[in-house]
Amino acid sequence: MAIKLQQAGITDITIYEKADDVGGTWRDNTYPGLSCDIPSRFYQYTFAMKPDWSRFFSPGGEIHEYFSGVADTHGLRERIRFGTEVLGAEFVDDRWRVRTSDGRTSEVDFLISATGILHHPRYPDIEGLDSFGGAVFHSARWDHDVELAGKRVAVIGTGSTGVQIVCGLADTAGRVDMFQRSAQWIMPFPNQRYSRAAKAAHRRFPRLDELTYRTYMKTFEFFARALVKPGWRRRLIGAICRANLRTVRDPELRRALTPDYQPMCKRLVISSRFFRAIQQDNVELVTEGIDHVEPRGIVTADGVLHELDVIALATGFDAHAFMRPMNLTGRDGVTLEDAWQDGPRAHLTVALPGFPNFFMLMGPHSPVGNYSLTTIAENQAEHILGWIRRWQSDQFDSVAPTQQATDTFNAEMRAAMPDTVWATGCTSWYLGKDGNPELWPWTPDKHRHALAEPNLAEYDLRVGNRVATEPAVR
């Protein structure tokens, strides 16, 4: 967002970052086996192509290095206030008053949330977890001071993170016990290294980067139809996942690893190594529920004590927090908690009625299901930049979507949701507290087009306290 603003000649930008470095997910997550499940050449910015990615799916450290390099190249660090958490903000006299953890208050014309989705770790409520005699930590708070070679490690959780940790530890830990509450569908995809020739070609011919990016984007959008509409694409992906499951030789283990829901109902796990790792002699799948934890290890519901040295919690995040716990107060005293008392809602994933000049990157219902978040962020940033340019040309003082337009948009999403694979019967972080999916129920290209051509009639545009006249928003 900041780079898009700079490219448009807007330089009065402040970025508030509560941590001490850039990188978000790739700063916080450093666990063994970490990689992205979106191809490297698609998981990057179109204005900062990297020709020399090491692998098809790059490791987390390389991705963090990439984002750090982008920040440096574009001179963003001088605009970032590190170690500064935003506590809250209030819209007063067409400006936002922002309160930060250092006790300061700042006034800004536009407030943009870029806090991400999988940000607040979710810790399991397991009796006795605090009594464990070894090390316990969440996957996003990995303790690298703990030696794992030869140790007995429990991994609680079977999503993408749990799968990657098991693959990362299988050859180093003495024993790995993976505690499974529900099985996952695994899509096999080899993570090959890029050759020197491939890297050299991309360095010499930058158009190759653009062509590859566009190819991946079109491919992902083509297969995204499997997520939102029944048909042959959905059946094909399901057939691939089921064929992959048949590579597990032990029938009993295969049954234990077989989900009871459709492929893609939960986020599809991408791994060509997991089924090999889970069949190693030093790796065990535990399907009995966890009863409690004692100092020596985990006791399952069948009374068995699994003695352990380390417990790694791959138990996910609060995917519905968004910018909370910030306290936001919009026009006429409406608070974010008021607006979201029935769950997070937004207009076109980026804006909220009653909160003028406030926008979100990766807001509610963004198309984050097995898609590149960098691409989504660029589309949303361009949309937000469009509104700021209109403001610069004096078309309005404040803008927010109308409540009617937001309600209509959300009703259209609810009507489309039954066709999606996420509504076929499973529990996942995609679901809101009402049990309905909170994702974009159409293809990502529809999201891109909707943001590129906003309907001005769906917005409350004001000059001071007056509704902007029609010629002003032409």
My answer on whether 215 and 325 are in the same domain is no
Q: Looking at residue 433, what is its pLDDT? A: 82
What proportion of the chain, given as a percentage, has pLDDT over 70? 98
My answer on whether 241 and 309 are in the same domain is yes
Decide: 169 and 177 in contact? Cβ < 8 Å.
no
Residue 7 has pLDDT above 70, yes or no: yes
pLDDT band at 469 (very low <50, low <70, confident <90, very high): low
Q: What is the pLDDT of residues 269-320, one digit of tens each?
A: 999 999 999 999 999 999 999 999 999 999 999 999 999 999 999 999 998 8
Average pLDDT of the segment spanning 444-449: 95
What's the alpha-carbon Rg for the chain, to the nearest Å?
24
Q: Does residue 220 fall inside a structural domain? A: yes
My answer on whether 408 and 296 are in the same domain is no
Q: Does residue 299 fall inside a structural domain? A: yes
Residue 394 is part of which domain span?
A: 2-118+321-473
Residue 153 has pLDDT above 80, yes or no: yes
Residue 464 has pLDDT above 80, yes or no: no
Beta-bridge partners for 16: 81
Residue 265 has pLDDT above 60, yes or no: yes
Q: Looking at residue 467, what is its pLDDT? A: 73
My answer on whether 101 and 146 are in the same domain is no
CATH number of the domain where residue 280 is located: 3.50.50.60
Residue 472 has pLDDT above 60, yes or no: no
Residue 474 has pLDDT above 70, yes or no: no
My answer on whether 219 and 267 are in the same domain is yes
Structural domain count, the chain:
2
pLDDT band at 410 (very low <50, low <70, confident <90, very high): very high
Decide: 254 and 283 in contact? Cβ < 8 Å.
no
My answer on whether 178 and 276 are in the same domain is yes
Q: Report the Cα 197 to chain-centroid distance in Å.
A: 33
* Residue type (1 letter), 261: Y
My answer on whether 103 and 211 are in the same domain is no
Query: What phi, psi does 113 have (nearest 5°)?
Result: -95, 125
3-state secondary structure the chain: CHHHHHHCCCCCCCEEECCCCCCCHHHHCCCCCCECCCCCCCCCCCCCCCCCCCECCCEHHHHHHHHHHHHHHCCCHHHEEECCCEEEEEEECCEEEEEECCCCEEEECCEEECCCCCCCECCCCCCCHHHCCCEEEEHHHCCCCCCCECCEEEEECCCHHHHHHHHHHCCCECEEEEECCCCCCEECCCCCECCHHHHHHHHHCCHHHHHHHHHHHHHHHHHCHHHHCCCHHHHHHHHHHHHHHCCCCCHHHHHHCCCCCCCCCCCCEECCCHHHHHCCCCEEEECCCEEEEECCEEEECCCCEEECCEEEECCCECCCCCCCCCEEECHHHCEHHHHCCCCCCCECCCECCCCCCEEECCCCCCCCCCCCHHHHHHHHHHHHHHHHHHHHCCCCCEEEECHHHHHHHHHHHHHHHHHCHHHCCCCCCCECCCCCECCCCCCHHHHHHHHHCCCHHHEEEEECCEECCHHHHC
Which residue from 232, 220, 234 is spatially nearest to 424, judged by alpha carbons? 234
pLDDT band at 473 (very low <50, low <70, confident <90, very high): very low
My answer on whether 73 and 149 are in the same domain is no
Residue 155 has pLDDT above 60, yes or no: yes
Q: Does residue 124 fall inside a structural domain? A: no
Query: Among 251, 284, 313, which residue terminates a domain?
Result: 313
Q: Does residue 123 fall inside a structural domain? A: no
Q: Looking at residue 435, what is its pLDDT? A: 87
Here the tokens at position 227 are: 């997520």
Q: Looking at residue 314, what is its pLDDT? A: 98
Q: Looking at residue 434, what is its pLDDT? A: 84
Query: What phi, psi does 253 have (nearest 5°)?
Result: -65, -40
Q: Does residue 283 fall inside a structural domain? A: yes
Q: What is the pLDDT of residues 9-65, one digit of tens each?
A: 999 999 999 999 999 999 999 999 999 999 999 999 999 999 999 999 999 999 999
Tokens 């076109």 locate to 348
My answer on whether 77 and 176 are in the same domain is no
My answer on whether 303 and 197 are in the same domain is yes
Q: What is the pLDDT of residues 52-103, one digit of tens each?
A: 999 999 999 999 999 999 999 999 999 999 999 999 999 999 999 999 999 9
My answer on whether 160 and 302 are in the same domain is yes
Query: What phi, psi does 437 have (nearest 5°)?
Result: -60, 145
Residue 241 has pLDDT above 90, yes or no: yes
Average pLDDT, the chain: 95
Query: Among 294, 313, 332, which residue terminates a domain?
Result: 313
My answer on whether 344 and 464 are in the same domain is yes
pLDDT band at 329 (very low <50, low <70, confident <90, very high): very high
Q: Looking at residue 471, what is its pLDDT? A: 39
Average pLDDT of the segment spanning 120-127: 96
Q: Does residue 111 fall inside a structural domain? A: yes
Query: Among 259, 280, 313, which residue terminates a domain?
Result: 313
